[in-house]
Chain A
Amino acid sequence: MTRRHTASELSYRLVVGFLATVAIMILVGPILVVLITSFTTAPSLKFPPPGFSFKWYEALFDPVRSRHIHVAASNTLAVGIGATIAVTVLGVAAAAGLAGKRGRWARALENGFLGPLILPTLAYGFAALMFFSLLGFRTSLPLLVIGHAVVIAPFVFRTTLASLGQLDPALLESSASLGVGRFTTFRRVTLPLIAPGIAAGAFLSFIASIDNVPVSLFLSNARTDMLPIRMWGMMESTLDVRVAAASGVLISCVVVLMVAMERLVGLSKRI
């Protein structure tokens, strides 16, 4: 009996340990591979790289040769910042209007606001293209801000709603019983308590906008090029090693921002 038990214990530990190791390797490996490849000397994606150099980073930051990439990057940043500010204001207000409500309308609205998380945003991107062009709009950065706002709003809405759900109602009630107005209570009591949730959500929304493909695919063009779309184009045509350098820059930014947000607002608890 005991021997059978130890054998099964051993096989369980081996299988779980092996699969968990594979999972971690699959999660981290590709990112390390890209980082290593970005320092290659070769004009191809040969792995391991034959030598170490910064030449692809130099090519990436060259203002003449990589002008199109720089335009795409600044468009992406502008749309990301604009859309994030818009959805943070709208999303926090909507979460405050729905927090703790159980009515039919409240549930319908909550599901609607979270819809873009599971509905295929590629279908939405195409729908938005037809919608705007039938209304007579030409593709522009403001249209991209609107399109991005729709698909990134769920992140800040969700984290804010979760933070509001954890608030102690007694705090708000005691503030009200002391004769403090509702707006002042929100500003002085509620807002400081839910600020970390809002910040984490705004960060996730911003990242979702920076990385967005399905909406930009349809709403951007040569004039309003976006970074992920340009990188996709560079991957499709000639395998340009500058994509590895651009990936290296993006990965470094994500790591720095992620660690900062983890320290400041406990990001991992709020996703």
Chain B
Amino acid sequence: MASVAATVAPLSRARRDGVEWRLASPLALVYAAFFAAPLLLLLAISFFDDTDLTRVGGSQWIKFFTDPFYLSVIGHTLKLGAVTVLATSVLSFPLALVFCASRTGVQRLLLLIIIMPLLTSVVVRTFAWIVILAREGVINQTLLALGLSATPLPLLQTEFGLVLALTQIEMPLMLLPLITVMRTIDPNVLDASRALGASRWRTFFQVILPLSLPGWVAGSTLVFASSVTAFISQTVIGGGRLVFLPSVIWQQSMVVYNWPFAAVAAVTLLVTVLFGIGLLGALGAHFARR
């Protein structure tokens, strides 16, 4: 057996670096032709001055970045992503803690409860929140029945309603990586912390939280990227009053037919997402060093 390993080892080391192109190139070619090429085209089209794509220039970029309305749209979009990450974090850490402390049977049930919303269409989940937040919806009916409010509260078309809906829609994306990382924490470390006299709170903030940061960063990245681009939820629950980058792209491309301007908004959305992800990664690295 040792001789077999000896003869095989140099071969596999030589193979380790190189990609097996015969296997990987079909998907690589599909991605080059239908993923990379359209995105490069998107960037190119943003540098046309007119909607007929005849004059090259940066006027669309100038128009976008000198208009206070579009600047505030970028700000609102970033804020929506940040608030959703915060809300999903506040709810996901406790549920992940409960998950890790549960018996195997309960864990299996919890996993299915977490995965089911993820597999349910975003349109269905957005629709659910209309039923809950509407004038005759669950929350208002409850408030009226309990006498906590005399008139139905306007919950649809508010930022609160949108963040609430997005919290449900994105929470599984936070929970799954968080649980994966938290499960690997050695229980002996927690016992040691408790034995040394640290309270549960202190154990959480000084031991569990730092150790689960890689999972939090992975989850936050997915939640941020997904909530910032959640077009259906943003338009249906946010309504016309709250405008985010995705609806600017939609309006400009499919209603106004100003492709270059829509392309500027789309590239800005791409950069916004990459900026947010970079920031979260840096934040995670910063806390990991401490």
Q: Is A24 a contact of B113 with CB atoms below 8 Å?
A: yes
Is B225 at the interface (CB under 8 A from chain A)? Answer: yes
Asked if B249 contacts A235 (CB within 8 A), the reply is no
Among the stretches B55-63, B123-131, B209-217, the one at the interface with A is B123-131
CB-based contact A27/B117 at 8 Å: yes
Contact B270 A123 (CB under 8 A): yes
The reply to whether the CB of B73 lies closer than 8 angstroms to some CB of chain A is no
A116 touches B221 (CB 8 A): no
CB of A256 to closest CB in B, whole Å:
11
Query: Is A202 an interface position by the 8 A CB rule?
Result: no
- Chain B interface, DSSP helix/strand/loop, else mixed: helix
- From residue B275, how far is it (CB to closest CB) to chain A in Å? 12
- A17 to B91 alpha-carbon distance, docked (Å): 10
One digit per residue, 1 when the CB lies within 8 angstroms of any chain A CB and 0 when it does not, for chain B 92-123 equals 11110110000000001011111111111111
CB distance from A109 to the nearest CB of B (A): 6
Bound Cα distance from A230 to B39, whole angstroms: 27
Q: A19, B95: Cβ atoms under 8 Å?
A: yes
Cα–Cα, bound, A29→B16 (Å): 49
Are B16 and A123 closer than 8 Å at their CB atoms?
no
Size bracket of the A interface: 35 or more
CB of B128 within 8 A of CB of A118, answer no
CA distance A17 to B98 in the complex (A): 8
The residues of A that contact B23 with a CB separation of less than 8 Å are 93-94, 96-97
Which residue of chain B lies nearest to A9 when distances are taken between CB atoms in the complex?
B200
Contact of A131 among B41, B229, B253, B277 (CB under 8 A): B41
B102 to chain A, nearest CB (A): 10
Task: Give Cα A106 to B15, complex, Å.
Answer: 12
- Residue of B24, B117, B176 contacting most chain A CB atoms (<10 Å): B24
Cross-chain contact A47 with B201 (CB below 8 angstroms): no
In the bound complex, do residue B91 and residue A19 qualify as a contact, i.e. CB atoms below 8 Å apart?
A: yes
B234 to chain A, nearest CB (A): 10
Name which of B22, B31, B131 has the most chain A CB atoms within 10 A of its CB.
B131
Measured CA separation A34–B229 after assembly (Å): 24
Contact residues in B for A267 (Cβ distance below 8 Å):
115
Interface pair B119/A258, CB less than 8 Å apart:
yes
Tell me the nearest residue of chain B to A230, going by C-beta: B123
How many Å from the CB of A27 to the closest CB on chain B?
Answer: 6
**How distant is B171 from chain A, measured CB to nearest CB, in Å?**
6
Q: How many A-B residue pairs have CB under 8 A?
A: 295
Are the C-beta atoms of A211 and B4 separated by less than 8 Å? no
Task: Please give, as numbers and ranges, the residues of chain B lying within 8 Å of A9 by CB-CB distance.
Answer: 199-200
Of the candidates A24, A146, A207, which one forms a contact with B95 in the assembled complex, judged by CB atoms under 8 Å apart? A24
Instruction: Answer whether residue A3 sits at the interface, using C-beta atoms and an 8 A cutoff.
Output: no
B94 — which chain A residues lie within 8 A by C-beta? 15-20, 23
By size class, the interface of chain B is 35 or more
Answer whether residue B30 sits at the interface, using C-beta atoms and an 8 A cutoff.
yes
Q: Is B231 an interface residue (CB 8 A)?
A: yes
Given contacts A97-B22, A262-B112, contact A149 B30 (CB under 8 A): yes
Q: Which one of A52-60, A61-69, A212-220 contacts B?
A: A212-220
Asked if B12 is at the interface (CB within 8 A of a chain A CB), the reply is yes
A12 touches B112 (CB 8 A): no
Check if B21 sits within 8 Å of A97, measured CB to CB. Answer: yes
Q: Which residues from chain B contact A22 at a C-beta distance below 8 Å?
A: 91
Segment touching A, from B184-192, B259-267, B282-290: B259-267
Are B42 and A127 neighbours in the complex by a CB distance under 8 Å? yes
Instruction: State in angstroms the CA–CA spacing of A214 and B126 once bound together.
Output: 15
B86 at the interface (CB under 8 A from A): no
Residues of B within 8 A of A (CB): 4-5, 8, 12, 15-28, 30-31, 34-39, 41-42, 45, 90-95, 97-98, 108, 110-132, 134, 136-138, 141, 164, 167-168, 171-172, 176, 199-201, 204, 221-222, 225, 228-229, 231-232, 235-236, 246, 249-250, 253-254, 259, 262-263, 266-267, 269-270, 273-274, 277
Can you list 30 A-B contacts (CB < 8 A)? A9-B199, A20-B97, A24-B110, A27-B113, A28-B113, A30-B125, A45-B130, A47-B132, A101-B15, A102-B17, A117-B222, A118-B222, A118-B273, A119-B225, A120-B246, A122-B231, A127-B41, A130-B38, A130-B42, A150-B34, A173-B12, A207-B119, A211-B120, A217-B250, A218-B253, A232-B236, A250-B124, A254-B120, A258-B112, A268-B108
Please list the residues of chain A having a beta carbon within 8 angstroms of any beta carbon in chain B.
5, 8-9, 11-13, 15-20, 22-24, 26-31, 33-34, 37, 44-48, 90-91, 93-94, 96-98, 100-103, 105-106, 109, 112-113, 115-124, 126-131, 134, 146-147, 149-150, 153, 157, 169, 173-174, 176-177, 207, 210-211, 213-214, 217-218, 228, 231-232, 235-236, 239, 243-244, 247, 250-251, 254-255, 257-259, 262, 267-268, 271
Closest 5 CB pairs of A and B: A97-B23, A97-B24, A30-B128, A103-B17, A19-B94
Known: A28-B116, A33-B132. 15 other contacts (CB 8 A): A45-B136, A97-B21, A106-B17, A112-B36, A120-B225, A120-B228, A124-B35, A126-B266, A127-B41, A127-B263, A131-B41, A173-B5, A213-B122, A232-B232, A250-B124
